[in-house]
Chain A
């Protein structure tokens, strides 16, 4: 039995209602832990005063420089002692999950046992960067709990100016839209940079995210410095059995209004079967005895919409790989940036092909470490120096797939034009 609970009139109101309540969970923990009794006390005070009361500090585990988020209470009595002394230290361990966030119950139970013994008993699955967040341990217990979690085969994630924990979607494990082995790429890239994850020494944070298709379930384009998005080069595959099944259920109105009309490049047409033209770059499939679908794959931008609506009837092609974008981030400091295409297509089937992605990542991080200003993200650095200079440094050839349109102003010095044309022509001839 723990000590008496503090009054929590505000938090109590978050116990009613149908959604699972974190307050009820905390109160459950507080039955046995003075630690959580005082945590609830401090949280209630925040609800009353509308102020936060945690400050950072310096707490870590032996051998690593980051991965623990230190929190010390700032809520003090007049004499300087903590108002809620049992929760005066409330540090979080960020632990990297397996790709796709798959677990067996045995592993989850072991996490619970460790955290019940050494920590608050509060675990978040998962934080916004993808970490399992073991929330709430005293400075003394951080090392003990890390040692036990580490012995289970789990490692600390990133914090501060470091390579951060990554996320990959469920992908090939359970999704028909998967275009590469997300888990393999995720581990190959991240595990190359363990030193940069565990010992923060970059100009600022650097995030990778891995989505298996352009649905981008990991939100990689908007919030990762390097986004790896599955895609394919050949034609959309078709399955007549499933196409007819879909049509029988949904009919012509839905096919026209929900699929044809929503194709962003008008690559998707419905035609009478007799008018459908097969071709090297055309996908065709009948939906009933009179009508069928004709997709011009050279016009298709792999947006996924028709494949999402008619899953199975339509599917990504067989020549799969990924598009790589660089520079996504949120507002601070110059405003939100989405990633920019730097590789329209790479293959990721073999270990060598995955290694070439890792090689690019290494060259990017080297360049970032050397050229970014303090607290500058990759996207801001590229905005400052211009994409062309970045590509030069990375030895990546320019490609019109990298831009929405060519430049709209004349403010560029073009006296190297002939040399560039000569280089492109020489390359064409050599090919």
Chain B
């Protein structure tokens, strides 16, 4: 279907449909040798994992933060470090940290020094605040309410010390998302665009650009219906139903949901991917209405830092953000963080009754 725009016919080359490549040729030889036979690991210092195999072999992995969107000069610099100070094999974590794998403990300290000398912070392991999972934003997305890389850069500048330490109660995963689709994903704490006004419709364009039944079907609250506007087939929105999610915008760009003033940012907490202790949890909205304020989003940074500071001071060892709130309860969470609990935080979406307190369990 997408073959309308092609290079000249002479350049047509049939793709080699090889799929996911094997990873064995990229693995550090010691990882390949001990594949599936690891015994335990420990962390000699923040940013370093030490794995011991049943064979007795040992590897040290040194983890460093990157900006994810990397220019080739940065990648080559990381490769130079890998060739000169490590053993030429690297991997990336799900949060865009790079890991160098070495079999000689003596290489660890010089490798760390070289990484930090070149501006790559070593950390992101264990009970740290690791790099933020994020999206594309204004740099590349077609529907962004805000930027991604810039928000992340601004936040990680603030959280830099916690990336390089392991002083949080448990690991802290963050994400940011530039629209309510939430490509950044579930996290202990997430920053997500929250639109506050219905889309503004350019009725001149709808008929030519949008497949109207598709757009009608996309709305979670059935607020969109076909209509003739100024003699042209278009769409209209029942604004009393619309909850401003923006789901109509991707299939119908003339329904502009992004607004420089009214597209705000919300903060969500308590998502947990792991099954450790409790089952995985979805995050919950705890703050909204924060301004979309580039280039450094100071209002968002202040709320994020406040929540993480209160969590750090108050949570017990091994409590993820969700575990901590489970123990202290939501009233105390709002009290300790000073965040206002407004009526908008009471869930009224389907299944919401299970989020209400149907008990006499109240903490005083």
- Of the A-B pairs whose beta carbons lie under 8 Å apart in the complex, a sample of 20, sorted by A's number, is A10-B295, A20-B65, A20-B119, A29-B72, A51-B258, A62-B7, A104-B26, A108-B90, A128-B135, A155-B15, A155-B17, A155-B18, A155-B21, A172-B38, A173-B32, A176-B41, A191-B19, A194-B17, A216-B280, A374-B214
- Which A1-51 residues have C-beta < 8 A from chain B? 10-11, 13-14, 16-23, 25-26, 28-29, 43, 46-47, 49-51
Q: Is the CB of A60 within 8 A of B2?
A: yes
Q: Are A63 and B72 in contact (CB under 8 A)?
A: no
Contact of A62 with B3 in the complex, beta carbons under 8 Å? yes
A126-B92 in contact (CB<8A)? yes
B350 close to A (CB within 8 Å): yes
A200 contacts across to B, CB distance below 8 A: 1
A18 near B160 with CB under 8 A, answer: yes
Which residues of B are found within 8 Å of A214, using beta-carbon distances?
274-276
Is residue A283 within 8 Å, beta carbon to beta carbon, of the partner chain? no
Nearest-Cβ distance from residue A77 to partner chain B, whole angstroms: 20
- Is residue B106 contacting chain A, with contact meaning CB distance below 8 A? no
Residue of B nearest to A16 (CB): B157
Q: Taking the complex as formed, is A353 at the interface, i.e. its CB lies under 8 A from any CB of chain B?
A: no
In angstroms, Cα B26 to Cα A108, docked, is: 11
Are A105 and B82 neighbours in the complex by a CB distance under 8 Å?
Answer: yes
Contact: A14 with B20, CB < 8 Å? no
A96-B138 contact in complex given A150-B15, A308-B276, C-beta closer than 8 Å: no
A14 vs B187: C-alpha distance when bound (angstroms): 24
Known: A98-B22, A125-B66, A331-B180. A14 touches B13 (CB 8 A): no
Binary flags per residue of A174-186, CB closer than 8 Å to B gives 1, else 0: 1110100101001
Cα of A375 to Cα of B145 in the assembled complex, Å: 22
Q: Does A112 reach chain B (CB closer than 8 Å)?
A: yes
The 9 closest A-B pairs by CB, nearest first: A312-B40, A17-B157, A60-B2, A25-B71, A46-B138, A50-B260, A98-B23, A214-B275, A191-B19
Q: Is A52 a contact partner of B20 (Cβ separation < 8 A)?
A: no
Cβ contact within 8 Å between A25 and B69: yes
Contact: A121 with B72, CB < 8 Å? Answer: yes
Q: Are B247 and A333 in contact (CB under 8 A)?
A: yes
Which of A122, A190, A254 has a CB less than 8 Å from the CB of B69? A122
- Tell me, in angstroms, the Cα distance from A90 to B142 when the chains sit together: 11
> Which of B7, B101, B185 has the most chain A CB within a 10 Å cutoff?
B7
Given contacts A69-B140, A170-B91, A338-B280, contact A222 B20 (CB under 8 A): no
Chain B residues with Cβ below 8 Å from A154 are 18, 21
Contact of A104 with B5 in the complex, beta carbons under 8 Å:
no
- Contact across chains for B73 and A59 when beta carbons are under 8 A apart: no
What 0/1 readout, one digit per residue, does chain B (9-51) give for beta carbons within 8 Å of chain A?
Answer: 0011111111111110111100110011011111000000001
Count of interface residues, chain A, beta-carbon cutoff 8 Å: 144
Q: Which residues of B have CB within 8 Å of A174?
A: 31, 38, 51, 59, 61, 101
Please state if B94 and A54 are interface contacts (CB–CB under 8 Å): no
In the complex, A40 Cα to B122 Cα: how many Å? 29
What separation, in Å, do the CA atoms of A334 and B220 have in the docked complex? Answer: 6
Contact B72 A304 (CB under 8 A): no
Contacts A102-B23, A176-B41, A197-B19 known; 12 new A-B pairs at CB < 8 A:
A19-B65, A19-B67, A50-B260, A52-B258, A54-B140, A56-B142, A102-B27, A154-B18, A156-B15, A222-B273, A223-B185, A308-B276
B interface residues, how many (CB within 8 angstroms): 124
Asked if A264 is at the interface of the complex by the 8 Å CB criterion, the answer is yes
Q: Is A124 an interface residue (CB 8 A)?
A: yes
B72 contacts A116, C-beta separation under 8 Å: yes
CA distance A218 to B94 in the complex (A): 7
In the complex, chain A residues whose CB is within 8 Å of the CB of B183:
128, 330
Q: Is A273 an interface residue (CB 8 A)?
A: no
Bound form: Cα–Cα A146–B15 in Å: 9
Residues of B within 8 A of A47 (CB): 138, 147, 150, 294-295
Q: Is the CB of A20 within 8 A of B74?
A: yes
B156 beta carbon closer than 8 Å to chain A: yes
Q: How far is the CA of A87 from the CA of B218 in the complex (A)?
A: 32
Is A111 at the interface (CB under 8 A from chain B)?
yes
| Complex contact B274–A216 (CB within 8 A) | yes
- Judge whether B139 is part of the interface by a CB distance below 8 angstroms: yes
- Complex-state Cα separation, A302 to B134, whole angstroms: 30
CA–CA, A127 to B74, complex, Å?
A: 17
Q: Is A311 an interface residue (CB 8 A)?
A: yes
State whether B74 touches A305 (Cβ < 8 A): no
B345 at the interface (CB under 8 A from A): no
A68 within 8 A of B: yes
Cβ contact within 8 Å between A58 and B4: yes
Cβ contact within 8 Å between A18 and B121:
yes
Give B49-93 interface residues, CB cut-off 8 Å to A.
Answer: 51-52, 59, 61, 65-76, 78-79, 82-83, 88-93
A427–B271 Cα distance when bound, in Å, is 41
Quote the shortest CB–CB distance from A157 to chain B (angstroms): 9
Contacts of A302 in B (CB 8 A): 275
Instruction: Determine whether the beta carbon of B350 is less than 8 Å from that of A335.
Output: yes
What is the distance, in angstroms, from B233's C-beta to the closest C-beta of chain A? 20
Option from B32, B73, B145 in Cβ contact (under 8 Å) with A25: B73
If A46-B138, A198-B17, A218-B94 touch, does A60 touch B247 (CB 8 Å cutoff)? no
Q: Which residues of B contact A232 (CB under 8 A)?
A: none
Given contacts A14-B295, A22-B149, A47-B147, contact A54 B72 (CB under 8 A): no
